[in-house]
Structure 1
Amino acid sequence: MDQLPLFDSPEWSRVVGVFDLETTGVDVTRDRIVTAHVGVLDAAGIVRRARDWLADPGVAIPEAAAQIHGITTAHAREHGRPAAEVVAEVTASLRELFDAGIPVVAYNAPYDFSLLKSECLRHGVAPILAPAPVIDPLVVDKAYDRWRRGKRTLSVVAQHYAVQLEDAHEASADAIAAGRVALALADRFAPWLPPTVQELHTRQIAWARAQAASLTEYFISIGRIDPDDTVDGSWPIR
């Protein structure tokens, strides 16, 4: 029997940035950053650079949010740094990666980048209005394994690709796991992935739009949203 041809993983997978936020809620225009992580992984998924932040968001952290990420209002006020400083430093770290041409992995990227943009505008920091190149494992996984049943949360998808995720909803753990999922996707789907990260970024814009349209149809069919409503498919930022 002939052996199947071997395909090298794409060049972008040699080094990737990773980014994740934990916040006071899910509203990207209103809610605030509590913790953040920006790091760099090599092709083996080993952490080469990492930085974490804890902010005092300047507002009370709802109990429901604290139960998810473990940071209470009292803890953030005592140990967190001023939100404006954190927002400026996270933005600068991401801008440095983009300027170096390093793709940044963010799971469900529009959430993190949109919330960061809102925080920048709130605190007088110049925002990253068009982050690129970005790799969103959620979008890529749906594109290449569309019909797989089950949830697509980071913890479920990480398990599917045999990526260990401990301390879910902790910014560094989630960011690193997302980066390793992106590397697993690069290996699994190497024959079909675009040859450059710039083309992959562009394709994800279209994939995210199509996925949102499909989700809109499903939500309308089950009565979750009105027929005139739509799921926002903007990517990687809203």
Structure 2
Amino acid sequence: MTDPTTPGWPYGPMLALDLETTGIDPETARIVSAAAVPIGVNSSTSACTWLVDPGIEIPAEATAVHGITTNQAAEDGRPAADVIPEITAELVRALTAGWPLVVFRAPYALTVLAREAARHNVDFPAEVAPVIDPAVLDKQVDRYRRGRRTLPALCEHYQVRHDGPNQAVEDALAAARLAWRLPRVHPQLAALDLATLHTQQQTWAAEQAHGLQQHLRRTDPTATVSPAWPLTPTAT
């Protein structure tokens, strides 16, 4: 078992990122709100939050999830062209400092952000690493557990706070709490350095995607699940 006094990634700073968007397809979804929350740094460092005017109608289905309407985003939000550089800069700042990004179901959020960056001619890192994805970690260490594996469900299972599902700041904080809790419940995760943990998650995510695809093909022979992690590469 890992000595709890030994420094390691579970004891260092992190940046938790969450996005609320217009839809479920990361190739076309636009960001409506976002939060980047520093974890494990001095108390004067606060969360960065953004309300975004995506420049398109926010579907009713998306509003039903996060509560942000098209009118609200247009009246109170800032243009996406102004916000996307700021979100990306926070991500780059953390990675440059060696902080891991905590992103629940990273391939969705990071792909959305990468596509938004391309849409608005913002430079995006060629490699985003290291990333900590509690969804991948949980599935790897407890793969046969029954039940849902949504962010609220994982918070309930690991007994960590989640103060507001589908609110960017609260979802980011919940993901960070999971990233703190998981290596303490499963110390084999804490024993890995960040670079190894990132590489392992790439392997684990691909295996999990293959398993899900095999399951889906029981009823839909054409079902495909991308193995890409932590984001989907741009099609060439």
> In terms of mean alpha carbon deviation, does 101-110 or 123-132 score higher?
123-132
State whether residues 103 and 135 of structure 1, in contact with CA within 8 Å, keep that contact through their aligned partners in structure 2. yes
Task: From 167, 183, 191, give the equivalent of 2:164.
Answer: 167
2-structure distance, mates of 1:236, 1:192: 18
Gap regions ≥5 residues in structure 1: none
Q: Using the TM superposition, give the Cα deviation of residue 195 of structure 1 relative to its aligned residue in structure 2, in angstroms.
A: 2.6
2:15 matches 1:7: no
Question: Superposed, which structure 2 residues align to 1:89-238 within 5 Å?
Answer: 89-221=86-218, 223=219, 225-226=220-221, 228-238=222-232
Q: Using the TM superposition, give the Cα deviation of residue 152 of structure 1 relative to its aligned residue in structure 2, in angstroms.
A: 0.4
**Aligned twin of 1:82:** 79
Gap regions ≥5 residues in structure 2: none
Number of corresponding residues: 229
Rate the CA distance shift 1:98–1:165 in 2: closer, same or farther, 3 A.
same
What does the per-residue CA deviation read over 1:40-82, in whole Å, with 9 as the maximum and x for residues that have no partner? 1129xx8953110001000000011011101100000000001
2-structure distance, mates of 1:220, 1:121: 33
Task: From 71, 84, 98, give the equivalent of 2:68.
Answer: 71
Q: With structure 2 as the length reference, what TM-score do the two structures score?
A: 0.92
What does the per-residue CA deviation read over 1:102-147, in whole Å, with 9 as the maximum and x for residues that have no partner? 0010000000000001001111111233211000000000000111
2:33 matches 1:39: no
Q: Using the TM superposition, give the Cα deviation of residue 13 of structure 1 relative to its aligned residue in structure 2, in angstroms.
A: 1.6
Q: With structure 1 as the length reference, what TM-score do the two structures score?
A: 0.92
State whether residues 16 and 176 of structure 2, in contact with CA within 8 Å, keep that contact through their aligned partners in structure 1. yes
State whether residues 2 and 191 of structure 2, in contact with CA within 8 Å, keep that contact through their aligned partners in structure 1. no
Q: Using the TM superposition, give the Cα deviation of residue 10 of structure 1 relative to its aligned residue in structure 2, in angstroms.
A: 6.1
Task: From 54, 57, 60, give the equivalent of 1:57.
Answer: 54
State whether residues 7 and 190 of structure 1, in contact with CA within 8 Å, keep that contact through their aligned partners in structure 2. no
1-structure distance, mates of 2:171, 2:183: 18
Give 2:226's aligned amino acid.
Answer: D
2-structure distance, mates of 1:99, 1:120: 18
Give 1:235's aligned amino acid.
Answer: W
State whether residues 212 and 231 of structure 1, in contact with CA within 8 Å, keep that contact through their aligned partners in structure 2. yes
Give 2:230's aligned amino acid.
Answer: P
> In terms of mean alpha carbon deviation, does 10-19 or 94-103 score higher?
10-19
Rate the CA distance shift 1:163–1:85 in 2: closer, same or farther, 3 A.
same
2-structure distance, mates of 1:166, 1:192: 26
Rate the CA distance shift 1:47–1:205 in 2: closer, same or farther, 3 A.
farther
* RMSD of equivalent CA atoms: 1.7
State whether residues 66 and 72 of structure 1, in contact with CA within 8 Å, keep that contact through their aligned partners in structure 2. yes
Rate the CA distance shift 1:192–1:104 in 2: closer, same or farther, 3 A.
closer
Rate the CA distance shift 1:11–1:48 in 2: closer, same or farther, 3 A.
farther
Provide the identity percentage. 40
2-structure distance, mates of 1:120, 1:195: 31
1-structure distance, mates of 2:203, 2:2: 28
2-structure distance, mates of 1:129, 1:33: 20
State whether residues 8 and 190 of structure 2, in contact with CA within 8 Å, keep that contact through their aligned partners in structure 1. no
SS of 1:18 mapped into structure 2? strand
What does the per-residue CA deviation read over 1:164-200, in whole Å, with 9 as the maximum and x for residues that have no partner? 1121000000000000001000111114544311100
